[in-house]
Amino acid sequence: MKTSQEFWAFYQNRLITSLNEVEEKRKERLKYGLILFVVLGLAPLYLWIIFSVFGSSFAKSWDGGIVFFITIITSIFSFLISSQLPAYKAYKRYYKDHVIEPIVKFISSDLQYDATHHISKYDFERSTIFPGRIDNFNGDDYVKGFIDKTAFEFSEVKATRRETSGSGKNRRTKTVTVFQGLFFKADFNKEFFGSTVLVPNYVGRFSFLKKMAGVARPQKYIELEDPELNKLFNCYSTDDVKARYVLSPALMQRIVQFKNKYPKNQVHLSFVNGTLFVAISYLHNLFEAPLFRSAINFKRIESYFDDIRLVVETVEDFNLNTRIWTKE
């Protein structure tokens, strides 16, 4: 796997040229954005001009003047936005094609990157990590490939659902974010059927609280032998024997080490019918083109490299290339 020192050399020799080009495009987009802001900021002046020029036409009708003013401003605003959206989308796509994709290819030339694709909703629901209905599912920055014998894929995803409370006039509907972040899928190195899920432990060390926390899940609570893992996660499984078969002592140690790489992020894992799923929560989109900050910022670019590399290294972290018994 590529090192930070190698990435610094890659940044200096390859990425900096692309970033200089991105910076020029960013400044152009920002210039038009400021023009739009000024146009809206001068709205009171437009009102004064309109009433000065056309005041005799609707001076006696304040409502008519307001409607006319709003119509004019809305038309200008809509025109400016619609004229700039394609250019802004092109800028974002240029950034991903010339910055994010080269980083992915630098980590491994065997990896494939698609800026607009994402992990399927089917796989997200099949993981059983987040039970319940999903009303809207989208994402981007899809990466797939092989590390030795192991096929894997991941992308950013955002899953939401609508929840309704109250009744009658007090009825309210809100959109709840079920998950936002990186979602990873890989072929596991053991053949098994059933599902075992590890979710963050928010209820402490008492088993009865952990059981209550998983009451809505199709699996039952399992107490594992690793005390450190039990502090970090609650384990739920359709079969406690298979759960222990999947979660060997060595793997439990690897999971603890993996979680320590993400001390500020929620990490969920599941093992379903021979497949590993990992969900790492983020509160923001990861690989987006900057608009109000300079594109030439090594720390930000290095963070992209670290995030992608850490997810790819999951294959090695969990020793997935070591085939166990019938898993070839």
Q: Are residues 198 and 306 in the same domain?
A: yes
- Whether residue 327 lies inside any domain: the answer is no
d(CA 39, CA 122): 45
Mean pLDDT of 312-323: 81
- Whether residue 175 lies inside any domain: the answer is yes
The more confident residue out of 34 and 39 is 34
**pLDDT classification of 320: cutoffs 50, 70, 90:** confident
Q: How many domains does the chain have?
A: 2
- Whether residue 69 lies inside any domain: the answer is yes
Last residue within a domain, chosen from 106, 133, 158: 106
- Whether residue 328 lies inside any domain: the answer is no
Q: Are residues 60 and 144 in the same domain?
A: no
The more confident residue out of 207 and 118 is 118
The sheet with strand 136-147 has its strands ordered as 112-114, 136-147, 150-165, 172-187, 275-281, 267-272, 195-200, 233-237, 220-222
The mean pLDDT value of the chain amounts to: 85
pLDDT of residue 134: 95
pLDDT of residue 61: 53
Mean pLDDT of 220-237: 92
Mean pLDDT of 189-211: 87
Q: Where in 202-243 does DSSP place strands (E)?
A: 220-222, 233-237
Q: Are residues 175 and 303 in the same domain?
A: yes
Task: Kindly tell me if the per-residue pLDDT of 161 is higher than 80.
Answer: yes
pLDDT of residue 206: 78
Mean pLDDT of 58-85: 60
Q: Are residues 169 and 26 in the same domain?
A: no
Task: Kindly tell me if the per-residue pLDDT of 13 is higher than 90.
Answer: yes
pLDDT tens digits, 83-134: 667 778 899 999 999 999 999 999 998 899 999 999 999 999 999 999 989 9
Last residue within a domain, chosen from 106, 122, 140: 106
Q: What percent of the chain has pLDDT over 70?
A: 82
Q: Are residues 159 and 262 in the same domain?
A: yes
Domain of residue 94, residue span: 4-106
- DSSP states along 234-282: EEEES-HHHHHHHS-HHHHHHHHHHHHT-TTS-EEEEEETTEEEEEEE-
**pLDDT classification of 31: cutoffs 50, 70, 90:** confident
Task: Kindly tell me if the per-residue pLDDT of 219 is higher than 60.
Answer: yes
Task: Kindly tell me if the per-residue pLDDT of 233 is higher than 70.
Answer: yes
Q: Are residues 118 and 210 in the same domain?
A: yes
CA 65 to chain centre: 46
Helix-helix angle 62-95:43-58, to 10 degrees:
150
Tokens of 124: 């997200």
Mean pLDDT of 209-223: 88
Mean pLDDT of 305-313: 89
Q: What is the number of other CB atoms lying within 10 angstroms of the CB of residue 320?
A: 23
Q: What is the number of other CB atoms lying within 10 angstroms of the CB of residue 66?
A: 12
Q: Are residues 219 and 253 in the same domain?
A: yes
Closest CA to 1 of 281, 311, 258: 311
Task: Kindly tell me if the per-residue pLDDT of 39 is higher than 80.
Answer: no
pLDDT tens digits, 264-284: 899 999 999 999 999 999 988
Last residue within a domain, chosen from 106, 122, 142: 106
d(CA 247, CA 193): 14
pLDDT of residue 326: 47
- Whether residue 326 lies inside any domain: the answer is no
Task: Kindly tell me if the per-residue pLDDT of 317 is higher than 90.
Answer: no
